[in-house]
Amino acid sequence: MEQQKVTIKDVADLAGVSKSTVSRYLNNGYISAEKQAKVRKAIEQTGFQSNFFAKRLKTRESKLIGIVLPRMDSVTVGKLLSGITRVLEPEGYQSILLVSQLSSKKELESMQKLQQQGVDAILVDSVGLTAEHVRRAQEWGLPILYTGQKNAAVHCLKIDDAAAGHRMGAYLRQMGHKHAVFAGVTESDEAVGIERKEGFIAGFCEGRTDAKVDFVETGFDFLSAYNQAAEIHKLGSTVVVGATDNISLGILRYFHERGVRVPEDISVVGFGGYDVGAVVYPALTTVAFDYELMGMKAASYLLNILRGGEAEMTNLDMPLLFVERESVQNLMKKTLPINSTSLPAMM
Amino acid sequence: MEQQKVTIKDVADLAGVSKSTVSRYLNNGYISAEKQAKVRKAIEQTGFQSNFFAKRLKTRESKLIGIVLPRMDSVTVGKLLSGITRVLEPEGYQSILLVSQLSSKKELESMQKLQQQGVDAILVDSVGLTAEHVRRAQEWGLPILYTGQKNAAVHCLKIDDAAAGHRMGAYLRQMGHKHAVFAGVTESDEAVGIERKEGFIAGFCEGRTDAKVDFVETGFDFLSAYNQAAEIHKLGSTVVVGATDNISLGILRYFHERGVRVPEDISVVGFGGYDVGAVVYPALTTVAFDYELMGMKAASYLLNILRGGEAEMTNLDMPLLFVERESVQNLMKKTLPINSTSLPAMM
DNA sequence: CTGTTAGCGCATTCAG
DNA sequence: CTGAATGCGCTAACAG
């Protein structure tokens, strides 16, 4: 139980120099080659490790980035974290994680804790930006970046849900579909619940009046989607659009059980580009988001400010990737030439 | 940019008391109701927040738990973290995360960083326990718990892979299968690559000599499993056992493409109990592990030691849950009465 | 109950 | 280049 016994003073004594000299050695200060060797040796012998807290108390830098996540056990969050870590780690920064449990209130509380804790910056994968979120971004003296939701008053990094929805809508329109059911989540999630849906409707109906989109609300998980599937099916559309791939997967399962063939009898599409979408049958046509890239961009942004750079986001548009697979039937007489498998979407 | 300007002294001055009184107020020390009110007011007015580092420098406690994970973007890791957070958070502890990228060496490096950083305890979801891991657990003055792998010399928390394998083997034996292909991962992963497989073979062959198990190596992902599927199929077994559900999913996809019916033509099972296993068709029969529970247990263990409790693990056996779904055919003449859907496995 | 007095371990002036 | 001195902000004896 002898954790942090040896201090900079012990090293100094052993090396026969002053504490300041050791400190200089540690921080690239000027020091003669001779003493340098002595100090190095003393450090090795004692196994000295500088005290993190004492150091931070002086330097006012923690090398810690606070991250607030809505939940831990989700594929998207995992990818996001993966991206963040990838750029933060090489720079000597570490992340400290807090979970908001999809609550905007807990989100704020977590930010408070992190700030008090002295993190150098905060990244929040938000479920809803309030006035308080904005206030903090402005008043607190540290860089804050929000992802997942958008608000003009603060710095955000977000998938362009409207564009994603629009793209999918346009695709289905080109495939000759006229009646879709959008299986989506609550509108309290502005990004997924509203933007994505509205975008879809716009893209789907664009330039015609004979298109129709019905809406059925589900949760984010397989099961709640599965449970709504009967109602969705009753609507008699030619395609059902899951607001997330998980929703689509639940619906696919239902159709399978009922002997409804996809895409022969009905088409199904999703959003997200989860890996599993490729192994189910039929493989799911979807708009894929690169959450890992998003994590990397977010971390880079923060790092840039921390280095004294300006807070401007040069390119915070997240690219979309349309992934055409097997779950959509082409209703047009003559098959349109569609660029196959996956085409980068520039919006 | 006025982050941490107000100190305990400012509060003291404003309230007309001494710094110690304020400190006592903050730490549940005795203080008169009168001054208590004054201090509270002063704190509100100034918006005082105690300096994390100064506090920790004194108390020698960080309230930080270091966590080393093999990767971030995996379902199991997500669940694990979810469980850890659930018990740590209410106790005022926070987690700081490092990623080992499946490298035992990086694992050690990460532990080093965390220790130097002054975390109160370390949790490592290890990919392989070396002598150095053992040494640290003994010599470092802080609680260390390893999960994912086992070593008698240190405290570990692990799924009983041998038991899980055995259980699956026994089940398939009872279902009348005599020839299985085990699609597994490299043996460098002792837990999954060896224990799980050996356990399966033992359970499958138990009490008979006409059973046969072939082995084909794959990676952990859908694709590598999918790529090995042809070879696996050629072996002509009645059942293929994926070392993880992901592997099984990749194989299921291959069979679907080839028109091989599951379970009519061949049975497929997995390990893990991932949610998606329930929505694919046929739904995958599997042995489920409760990683979230594992995370909770791990955190509780650490917390217990931190509170001065002894380092004994009262119950660190992780329960197994056998999930019988649709992907296995019963080859016996008369259908055996099997306790349906899912039965808790006491091993 | 409360104020005074000491440091925690380190980085950083400031004189040498 | 180097050592002595100072204090970061806070808690913990210590005497009132």
Segment A329-339, tens digit of pLDDT: 999 854 444 44
Which of the four pLDDT bands, split at 50, 70 and 90, describes residue A342? very low
Alpha-carbon gap, residue B157 to B136, rounded angstroms: 17
Same-domain check for residues B152 and B171: no
Give chain B residues 5-34 with Cβ within 7 A of strand D.
Answer: 7-9, 19-20, 23, 26-27
Same-domain check for residues A193 and A252: yes
Same-domain check for residues B150 and B165: no
What is the number of structural domains in chain B? 3
| B323 domain residue, yes or no | no
Alpha-carbon gap, residue B128 to B210, rounded angstroms: 35
> In B, which residues are within 8 Å of A95 by CB distance?
96-97
pLDDT exceeds cutoff 50 at A345: no
Same-domain check for residues B171 and B283: yes
- Position A79 scores a pLDDT of 94
- For B73, residues 6+ apart whose C-beta sits below 8 A from its C-beta are A75, A78, A79, A81, A82, A292
- Range of weakest confidence among A55-59, A131-135, B286-290: A55-59
| B321 domain residue, yes or no | no
| A343 contacts chain B (CB < 8 A) | no
Which structural domain, as residue segments, surrounds residue A240?
Answer: 161-289
CATH number at residue A107: 3.40.50.2300
| A108 domain residue, yes or no | yes
Nucleic strand C near CB of residue B18 (< 7 Å):
yes
Same-domain check for residues A194 and A294: no
pLDDT-flagged residues of chain B (< 70): 1-4, 311-316, 333-347
Give chain B residues 33-92 with Cβ within 7 A of strand D.
Answer: 48-51, 54-55, 57-59
Torsion angle, alpha carbons of A265, A271, A275, A278, to 10: 20
- Position A313 scores a pLDDT of 63
Same-domain check for residues A32 and A134: no
Same-domain check for residues A36 and A135: no
Which of the four pLDDT bands, split at 50, 70 and 90, describes residue A312? low
Same-domain check for residues B55 and B92: no
| B337 domain residue, yes or no | no
Same-domain check for residues A254 and A141: no
CATH number at residue B53: 1.10.260.40
Q: To which H or E segment does residue B124 belong?
A: strand B121-125
pLDDT tens sequence across A151-188: 889 999 999 999 999 999 999 999 999 999 999 999 98
Same-domain check for residues A284 and A187: yes
- Measured in angstroms, the CA of B299 and the nearest CA of chain A are apart by 15
Q: Do A53 and B49 touch (CB under 8 A)?
A: no
| Strands (E) located in B194-238 | 212-217
Q: Decide: helix, strand or coil at residue A248.
A: helix
Given A59, A75, A95, which residue is the final one in a domain?
A: A59
pLDDT exceeds cutoff 70 at A4: no
Name the pTM for this structure.
0.86
Same-domain check for residues B96 and B44: no
Same-domain check for residues B101 and B180: no
pLDDT exceeds cutoff 50 at A32: yes
